Amino acid sequence: MELYRLTIHELQEKLEAGTVSAADVIAALYRRIDEVEGKVHAYVTLTRELAVKQAAAADLALQRGEGGALAGVPIALKDILCTRGIRTTCGSRMLADFIPPYDAAVVERLRDAGAIFLGKTNMDEFAMGSSNETSYFGPTANPWDTDRTPGGSSGGSAAAVAADECLAALGSDTGGSIRQPAALCGVVGMKPTYGRVSRYGLIAFASSLDQIGPFTKDVEDCAIIMNVIAGHDPRESTSIPAAVPDYRQFLARGVEGWKVGIPQEYFLAGIDREVEASVRRAIAVIEGLGAQCVPITLPHTEYCLAVYYIIAPAEASSNLARYDGVKYGFRSRSGRDLLDMYKKTRSEGFGAEVKRRIMLGTYVLSSGYYDAYYKKASQVRGLIKRDFDEAFRQCDVIMTPTAPTPAFRLGEKTDDPMQMYLSDIFTISANLAGIPGLSVPCGFTSGGLPIGVQFLAGRFEEEKLFQVAAAYEKNAGLEKRRPPL
């Protein structure tokens, strides 16, 4: 088998046995990248030299028996995570040449665990988008059909894992930006509980919603990555000092006797027929494992999108104010004075979707509108949280489709922001409620496009997601397919 096709746990067995070296794997992966990257465009920046050095160090450490939890494991990083000395663009012209002087907390953790960084993956500009089409560096293609989008905003990370251009990747999820592309690319993607993984060094889009999480080829790999990146960070005030269990311990426990909630609001209009059928089959699989699937209600679901598109742009309008051309990043050369420099820098440095959301956010925070929009949205957000609190009194986990449709065509929704926003309809609620969610592949459409099913759990109950997703993955009986690249 080609080394680039390995999962993390498969690679780790080989590394431990000494039958392959990290250097071999890196070489294989860059050959694979050279072969398919022209079609996929998953990466913005490749870090070959760094990877070769890290691989050599990892091999040395492994020989000495001193390798960390991810020694020699090649990983790709969404280009929203600050990497010391490595360009971090956030998919924007504004940061096209920005080289951070510090590492994000998760990058530190991965480095310390011995992981190897292959490169920085493409994304929607400042994570605003659901198709990777707002990237200043051009869109990423879906490895299963290169005329289609990989989803977004972490589309580069999802596509890189799906196309075997890395073993795993990190992404960020503000309204579904990990889970939706995971579903559309046929990989596993998890958004942890808000506060579980440090946001320090994650370039902020919407601070109360952003969360970093892994993309992997299977559920076990997802648990392996989470074991490394989860945990308290004193540099983040919203990081929670709760103990992190060994998530791998939960993979084989099964779901017998569990109650799995099926929210009726997630199976209504707009959902693709094949997606719904596939998710219904997944529900049947879960029932076959001894869990009881019960109908539940999340009554404020219809407000999720509206609440999200007030809170996220409001926070973004403030978070993105620092890109003013004064200290770093892009500065327009034609500014006549300070105000003109600000206006031109921000007009030229940001793309259309980012500007749309900055304007939206500025508007909803304006004096005279704050109460009607931001404050009201915050109140409804409280109700949405309460919906989940009540639901989790009746069930262990909730099961829904991850996205309403399979991967759509590049350009199909770029002129219709509302249609684009609707592709996150099933994922946004978890960000608003701060709960963890995991998308796992559950089949293919007749056209050969992947479909994902989403599991949701209560705050800091990631282990339940691993338990149910691993049980499902093992028993789903899905045929093993590879993208036709």
Per-residue contact string for residues 106-145; x = within reach of another protein by CB under 8 A: ----------------------------------------
User: One of 21, 130, 131, 153 is an active-site residue; which one?
Assistant: 153
Q: What share of the chain is helix, strand, coil (3-state, %, to 5)?
A: 45, 15, 40
| C-alpha span between 454 and 266 (Å, rounded) | 11
CB of 458 to another protein, least distance (A): 20
| C-alpha span between 246 and 224 (Å, rounded) | 9
Residue (368 or 477) nearer to another protein, CB: 368
Residue (95 or 305) nearer to another protein, CB: 95
Asked if 315 interacts with another protein (CB under 8 A), we say yes
Residue (249 or 366) nearer to another protein, CB: 366
Asked if 234 interacts with another protein (CB under 8 A), we say yes
Whether 78 is catalytic: yes
Which neighbouring-strand residues pair with 437? 191, 456
Asked if 238 interacts with another protein (CB under 8 A), we say yes
- Report which DSSP code applies to 325: S
Nearest C-alpha neighbor of 289 from the set 430, 179, 397: 397
Residue (81 or 285) nearer to another protein, CB: 81
Per-residue contact string for residues 161-200; x = within reach of another protein by CB under 8 A: --------------------------------------xx
Q: Considering only residues 88-107, where is the footprint of another protein by CB under 8 A?
A: 88, 90, 95, 98, 100-102, 104
- Reduce the DSSP state of residue 171 to 3 states and report it: strand
Binder of another protein out of 208, 332, 419, 475 (CB under 8 A): 208
Beta-strand relationship, 116-121 and 43-46? antiparallel
Residue (384 or 469) nearer to another protein, CB: 384
Residue with tokens 């989008």: 149
| C-alpha span between 293 and 282 (Å, rounded) | 11
Asked if 298 interacts with another protein (CB under 8 A), we say no
Per the structure block, which two tokens stand in for 323?
Answer: 């890109």
CB of 207 to another protein, least distance (A): 4
Residue with tokens 């990777």: 132
Residue (148 or 331) nearer to another protein, CB: 331
Asked if 362 interacts with another protein (CB under 8 A), we say yes
Number of residues that bind another protein (CB under 8 A): 43
Residue 336: phi, psi to the nearest 5? -85, -35
90: left (phi over 0), alpha (psi -120 to 50) or beta: left
Asked if 360 interacts with another protein (CB under 8 A), we say no
CB of 365 to another protein, least distance (A): 4
Amino acid at 385: K
How many Cβ atoms from other residues are within 10 Å of residue 244's Cβ?
18
- Reduce the DSSP state of residue 30 to 3 states and report it: helix
- Report which DSSP code applies to 409: B
What DSSP string describes 43-105? EEEE-HHHHHHHHHHHHHHHHTT---TTTT-EEEEETTB-BTTB---TTSGGGTT---SS--H
Q: Considering only residues 403-462, where is the footprint of another protein by CB under 8 A?
A: none
Residue with tokens 């070296």: 21
User: One of 21, 78, 154, 464 is an active-site residue; which one?
Assistant: 78
Asked if 342 interacts with another protein (CB under 8 A), we say yes
How many Cβ atoms from other residues are within 10 Å of residue 475's Cβ?
14
Asked if 204 interacts with another protein (CB under 8 A), we say yes
- Reduce the DSSP state of residue 268 to 3 states and report it: coil
Binder of another protein out of 207, 292, 332, 475 (CB under 8 A): 207
Asked if 82 interacts with another protein (CB under 8 A), we say yes
Whether 177 is catalytic: yes
Nearest C-alpha neighbor of 111 from the set 86, 146, 88: 86
Asked if 211 interacts with another protein (CB under 8 A), we say no
Asked if 328 interacts with another protein (CB under 8 A), we say yes
Asked if 272 interacts with another protein (CB under 8 A), we say no
User: One of 92, 177, 198, 439 is an active-site residue; which one?
Assistant: 177
Amino acid at 128: M
| C-alpha span between 86 and 113 (Å, rounded) | 19
Asked if 321 interacts with another protein (CB under 8 A), we say yes
Stretch that binds another protein, among 54-62, 142-150, 284-292, 326-334 (CB under 8 A): 326-334
Whether 366 is catalytic: no
Binder of another protein out of 53, 322, 409, 481 (CB under 8 A): 322
Amino acid at 428: I
Asked if 11 interacts with another protein (CB under 8 A), we say no
| C-alpha span between 193 and 191 (Å, rounded) | 7
Which residues are catalytically annotated? 78, 153, 177
Enumerate binding residues for another protein (CB under 8 A). 81-82, 88, 90, 95, 98, 100-102, 104, 199-204, 206-208, 234-238, 314-315, 317-318, 320-322, 324, 326-328, 338, 342, 362, 365-367, 370, 374
